[in-house]
Amino acid sequence: MPPRRAAKKVVLVVIDGLTPGMLERGIEEGRVPALSHLVDQGSYRRGVTTFPSVTPVCLTTIATGAHPDVHHIPHLSWYHRGERRIIEYGSSFHAMRAVGARQAVRDAVFNMSHSHVSSRATTVFEAVEDAGLVPAAINFTCYRGRTRHPIRLPELATRNRWFEAAYGPKRFFFFNLFESDPTGAPLAVRSRVEGSTDAYAGYVGRWLVTRDGFDFLVFYLPDFDYASHLAGPASPLDALSRADASVGQLMEAAGGPDELLERYAVIVCADHGQTHVDKVASLQESFSDLRVLRGRREDPDASDVAITASNRSGMVYRLPACGASTRELARRLDGEPAADVVLFREGPLAVARRRGQELRFAPEDGGWGTEGERGLLEDSVYPDALERAWCALACPNAGEVIVSAADGYELADLGGRHHSGGGSHGSLQVGDSVVPIIAAGFGEELGECPSLTELAPFVLSALGVEVPDSMARRAETAGARV
């Protein structure tokens, strides 16, 4: 039987950390001709990401069309209750060393996609391949698919049995570690400052488009975020121009911008926003009189809490030996200037504390039932905060307490590292949460302010693929964290 043909093939471009303001500035100054063409030929929206607004959570939301209550990735760093250890996906090298660098690499490259993402959450790659179509991904970290890919470095596989293979989309390219096809692409990580990872993606993307080698492609460009962390979210126009040039390579491979849109529908989005940070706080200081689990050399049985913080959000895990209640742990942060919104569950309700005031809320009749200070999470400052906070707390791997950082603050990671003087993200605040979304070549449009959870179902509908139940689940049916 010949393979199915998609209703219309789709390219999803994800530019890590791109803010609406930077995209609009790049268009105004003529620095992003490829993206400008897509805006001219399609529609441009501002959308809202998930929470915590850090890359592993956001990319998993894009891949699964769901918030953390469904996909189970809670943060960039988190405590695994079943394995009694801290997971660290790469906040910094020093944070990775605190939990064991080899284990951190294994978690980031393999375990996140294979075992940390819930088996009940269907990824867009799985759905596309199950429908008889060809999915593809370049450098996308939540890549779980149906096809086994052996690692390209056999000496690494020999030394580390867990590095032998990964299950990803049929066409799979991941930082030179996994390449389903020989493309001749250069090393992806030879110079992040000069945009080598985006250049690698551009090379492979051009190879794929030239051969019309997919029905659905996720084209991930992370170097803008790297530059923005270093220089601040308002500075890296050169990095954005390089990302635009990588998108331009897809257009060149198709024969031109218009020819690309004749063959493919295209979405461009960011995974999260980014804001300037110039102050650093240690979340552990509010719990200094308790026994804090700090890394692999600590004993969970001899600890009261595990604290995992990174970028602009953090989590407090109440361990079995802890004598303090969840509410008592949350109230310790009332006087901490870096803690803007502190979230926890209390019975059937979620609780948001801010400067000693409280808002209690839960899903009710398709909306939200609230008690207390409703203005505490005003939409203009904390977009879609109730749903995003509820779903973050309902994630089974989340801490009992979740912290969203105050404006200008970053929370130091397990290694004490931070981005002060540059850019960061992770909070509920609007600057970290609002993302640009461009859609061109589709027969229908996204809503006015779409959630990133809507992208995967939108793509599947365009491909003529049935949307899995896990992508249709919303906060109204999300249960309490267990």
66-97: buried (b, 16+ CB within 10 Å) or exposed (e) per residue? bbbbbbbbbbbbbbeeeeebbbbbbbbeebbe
Pairing state between β 279-281 and 275-276 = unpaired
Nearest-angstrom CA–CA distance, 239 and 196:
11
Pairing state between β 171-174 and 178-179 = antiparallel
- Residue 428, amino acid: L
Question: In this structure, are residues 225 and 240 in contact, taking their beta carbons and an 8 Å threshold?
Answer: no
What is the reported pTM? 0.95
Please list the pLDDT of the chain residue by residue as tens digits (482 residues).
456 666 789 999 999 999 999 999 999 999 999 999 999 999 999 999 999 999 999 999 999 999 999 999 999 999 999 999 999 999 999 999 999 999 999 999 999 999 999 999 999 999 999 999 999 999 999 999 999 999 876 555 445 555 578 999 999 999 988 999 999 888 776 665 666 899 999 999 999 999 999 999 999 999 999 999 998 888 789 999 999 999 999 999 999 999 999 999 999 999 999 999 999 999 999 999 999 998 777 899 999 999 999 999 999 999 999 999 999 999 999 989 999 999 999 999 999 999 889 999 999 988 999 999 889 999 999 999 999 999 999 999 999 999 999 999 999 999 999 999 999 999 999 999 999 999 999 987 788 889 999 999 999 999 999 999 999 755 444 443 32
The count of other CB atoms within 10 Å of the CB of residue 35 is: 25
Among 110, 114, 118, 83, residue whose Cα is nearest residue 99: 83
The domain made up of 9-275+429-477 has a fold known as Alkaline Phosphatase, subunit A (3.40.720)
Q: Which two tokens stand for residue 364?
A: 């009710």
Q: Which two tokens stand for residue 291?
A: 């026994």
- Token pair 């605190």 is found at 98
Among 354, 325, 349, residue whose Cα is nearest residue 339: 354
Q: Which two tokens stand for residue 105?
A: 């690499």
Domain boundaries, the chain: 9-275+429-477, 279-421
Question: In this structure, are residues 320 and 328 in contact, taking their beta carbons and an 8 Å threshold?
Answer: no
- Residues facing residue 358 across a β-bridge: 353
